[in-house]
Amino acid sequence: MSSALGPVEIMKRLPHRYPFLLIDRVLRYGDGEAVALKNVTINEPFFAGHFPGAPILPGVLIGEAMAQTAAFVGDGIDGPSAFLVSMDLKIERPAVPGDQLIITARLVKKFGKLMRISATVEVDNNLVAKAELTVSAG
């Protein structure tokens, strides 16, 4: 396992930039697993309309944070030639401002240029979302 990466190092590996870079830190990665952190803050632009008076992190952005974390699972799934093929996402409970998301992605199977990845998002050890992703390595 490799040690933590901050935003500058993350941006060297991912093409995403503000406001679509959705992981703040990669806590550890390697050996078919990556764990990342996302701090959910009220200052994020999507909270203006999602939803006024009761802000929640849009589920599609939770899924995107999982996909960004998956880029650190193994060799060959980062960079401009890698892309998400499919995602089966289930939201278990909302994520709200003040939450700190812990996103875990694990390699399940590799077949050719495709990888099957299982991911979870937790807040305080409580499940927020889970997904099965298929990622192309180019």
Residue corresponding to tokens 């802000």: 55
Task: Please tell me the pTM assigned to this model.
Answer: 0.93
Q: Which CATH class is domain 7-136?
A: alpha beta
- Residue whose C-alpha is closest to residue 129's, from 105, 109, 107: 105
Give pLDDT, residue 77.
56
Mean pLDDT of each 10-residue bin along the chain, 138 residues long? 88 89 96 96 91 94 96 69 87 98 97 94 99 89
Give pLDDT, residue 81.
56
Give pLDDT, residue 80.
56
Q: In DSSP terms, which residues pair with 119 in a beta bridge?
A: 105, 131
Task: Count CB-CB contacts under 10 A for residue 49.
Answer: 9
- Residue whose C-alpha is closest to residue 62's, from 28, 25, 103: 103
What residue type is assigned to position 105 of the chain?
A: A
Give pLDDT, residue 78.
56
Give pLDDT, residue 84.
85
48 HSE (CA, 13 A, CB side): 4
* Strand residues in 31-99 grouped as ranges (E): 33-39, 83-91
What are the catalytic residues? Answer: 50
Report domain extents, the chain: 7-136
